[in-house]
Structure 1
Amino acid sequence: MTGVPLAEELLLLAYDDETGKATLPRISLDLGMAAAVLIELALAGRLAYADGSLTVVDPTPTGEPVTDAVLAKIAADTPHSPASWVQRLRHGLRDRILGDLCAQGVVRDVDETELGFIHVHRYPVVDPSVEAETRQRLAEALTGAAPDERTAALATLVAVLRMESALGVSGEAAADARRRLAAIATGAGFSGEVSLEDSVVRPSVGLVVAALGRAVEAALGPRR
């Protein structure tokens, strides 16, 4: 596997650079982490969606510890639906990915105590270059440039998790971003509205992203 893992990109977008605090509800972040790792496995050709379940088609490790731990867990289990896997995997993934980002020097762990005994962790950015590259790719996709399948998958997750505010927009600009993100998902075949044969991504990836998108949306409930 090459490049920055999708879950790391998503997590960096979801935390405020200065305060180091999450800008999304905990449940949204945790579901997003699970979906991102599963999509990473699909992008790497390790995971497929068939007959309502996610299955391992290639157990070869990718070289990324968090992703490979999930790969091994799925390979050792019986097939389960995308909805089942995002719930099974969401606990603990965020802390592991934050730990990896700290070890890489991308963010730092600020451990503070509130009320004398409650530990609160913040993760302000130390090296902004990783997130800057991610934001640049998304910005280009939002302004009309055709995204590659990794960027299209990331844009779909941002839409599913209702993360428009993490893109630094609000009001009508946020509504415009939401429409464009939805258009990217549709054009990539992730929404089920475009034939996967006409998609800009591999059908095997499109099926996984579409199934996980539906699972996360159902878990989060209606948009308020």
Structure 2
Amino acid sequence: MLIAEELFLLLRRDDGKPENAMAYRGYGLAAALITDLVVAERIMLSDDRDPRLKVLLPGPVGHPALDAAMARLEQRDGKKLSSLVTDGKIAREKELAEALAADGVIRIEEKRALGLFPERYPVVDPEPERRTRERLRTVLIGGTPTPADASLLAILQGLDVAPKVLEEEKGDLGKKELKRRIEEISTDVAAGDAVAKAVAAMNAAVMTAVVFPVVASGS
């Protein structure tokens, strides 16, 4: 399962509604898809404080959300990460939902009342999200994080929703302790330099986009 698919599930309740009325969910999905493409070695990020994107291998990847995100990133080759996470054409929620529905994880309920009520994505199979949450619980109490674990935690922290989304998984960790633990995890990810660098950069980029949306939207 993609990091972006796991994040999609974490940010929604089992009834298909968002965990909260967060306006910046798309920033997280864009960051997750970018990380998935770094893991796939299709793109890389520079060593700059605000990293710039470099496309390594253009073309389709084999997943509808990744293919759509990749096509957009090819158009924005060389742009700063802070501007990419706010790009709605990278956050492919529709394609992620369709892929999860095709795998039998969720069901797509179409828009109602002439579009006044948005699509909902009720969970059909809770097992994938349960496995993700169990991994995150293990990591938060001291386990070794995978790139997916570290990425998910960094993005949730950047969106400032980690305490809410991980209410059960965080155990006795308070908000400050949880933030400190996630910061530790982002430097302890068991991955190559490119992935570890991407994980570290995503937290800062998403947080900047949420706190300073006007500034972050410039490239």
TM-score in terms of structure 1 length: 0.80
- Percentage of identical aligned residues: 31
Match of 2:198 in 1: 208
Q: Which amino acid aligns with 2:160?
A: R
8 Å contact 2:69–2:92 — kept in the other structure?
no
CA distance in 2, matches of 1:147, 1:212: 16
Match of 2:125 in 1: 127
CA distance in 2, matches of 1:117, 1:36: 27
CA distance in 2, matches of 1:162, 1:140: 21
8 Å contact 2:27–2:91 — kept in the other structure?
no
Alignment of 1:37 onto 2:27: no
TM-score in terms of structure 2 length: 0.81
8 Å contact 2:37–2:43 — kept in the other structure?
yes
Tell me, which stretches of 5 or more residues in structure 2 are unaligned? 213-219
8 Å contact 2:186–2:199 — kept in the other structure?
no
8 Å contact 1:112–1:120 — kept in the other structure?
yes
TM-superposed CA distance for 1:91, in Å, is 6.6
Match of 2:215 in 1: none
Q: Which amino acid aligns with 1:13?
A: L
The DSSP-based 3-state class of the residue aligned with 2:87 is: helix
TM-superposed CA distance for 1:153, in Å, is 1.7
Higher strand share: 1
Residues 117 and 45 from structure 1, CA distance in 2 versus in 1: closer, same or farther, beyond 3 angstroms?
closer
Q: Which amino acid aligns with 2:145?
A: P
1:31-70 alignment runs, 5 A limit: 31-50=27-46, 52=48, 53-59=52-58, 61-70=60-69
Alignment of 1:142 onto 2:140: yes
RMSD of the alignment, in Å?
2.6
Q: Which amino acid aligns with 1:122?
A: R
Aligned length: 206
Residues 30 and 205 from structure 1, CA distance in 2 versus in 1: closer, same or farther, beyond 3 angstroms?
same
Tell me, which stretches of 5 or more residues in structure 1 are unaligned? 189-199
TM-superposed CA distance for 1:77, in Å, is 4.1
Match of 2:70 in 1: 71
Match of 1:84 in 2: 83
Match of 1:102 in 2: 101
Q: Which amino acid aligns with 1:134?
A: T
CA distance in 2, matches of 1:95, 1:77: 21
Match of 1:10 in 2: 7
TM-superposed CA distance for 1:78, in Å, is 3.9
8 Å contact 1:14–1:166 — kept in the other structure?
yes
8 Å contact 2:35–2:199 — kept in the other structure?
yes
